[in-house]
């Protein structure tokens, strides 16, 4: 039982490049989330998927897109990376949206030069 698995662990991009962060969970959770974490800013929600087949914007969605591929997988795409997107990205899942514990992946450290 791996929990929440994120890939890659580290990534360096040049401004304007694109990439997709992958996330998968094996806990049969309904809800999945993408957060970014910057120093002094805590955890900010980018997008979430309350259940399979739905996605919604969080606090900081600009510059990102998501796909809930199936119940297990939720990917985050940066179409044209900007230095402001340098951050640590965490995927998380929970049994239900909004009122149950979040289980986080190990994070992806992204640097955009």
- Interface positions with other proteins (CB under 8 A): 31, 33, 40-45, 48, 50, 56, 58-59, 90, 97-107
Q: How far is the CB of 109 from other proteins (least distance, A)?
A: 9
Contact 53, 31 (CB under 8 A): no
Beta-bridge partner residues of 38: 42
Q: How far is the CB of 27 from other proteins (least distance, A)?
A: 13
φ, ψ for residue 38 (rounded to 5)?
Answer: -120, 150
- Cβ closer to other proteins: 4 or 81? 4
Q: How many H-runs (helices) and E-runs (strands) does the chain carry?
A: 0, 11
Q: How far is the CB of 100 from other proteins (least distance, A)?
A: 8
């Amino acid at each position: 039982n791996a929990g929440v698995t994120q890939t890659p662990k580290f990534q360096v991009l040049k401004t304007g490049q694109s990439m997709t962060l992958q996330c998968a969970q094996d806990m049969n959770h309904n809800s999945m989330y993408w957060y970014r974490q910057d120093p002094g800013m805590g955890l900010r929600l980018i997008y979430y998927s309350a259940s399979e087949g739905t996605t919604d914007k969080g606090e900081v969605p600009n510059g990102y897109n998501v796909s809930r591929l199936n119940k297990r997988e939720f990917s985050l795409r940066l179409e044209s990376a900007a230095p402001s997107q340098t951050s640590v990205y965490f995927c998380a899942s929970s049994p239900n949206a909004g009122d149950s514990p979040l289980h986080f992946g190990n994070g992806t450290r992204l640097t955009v030069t």
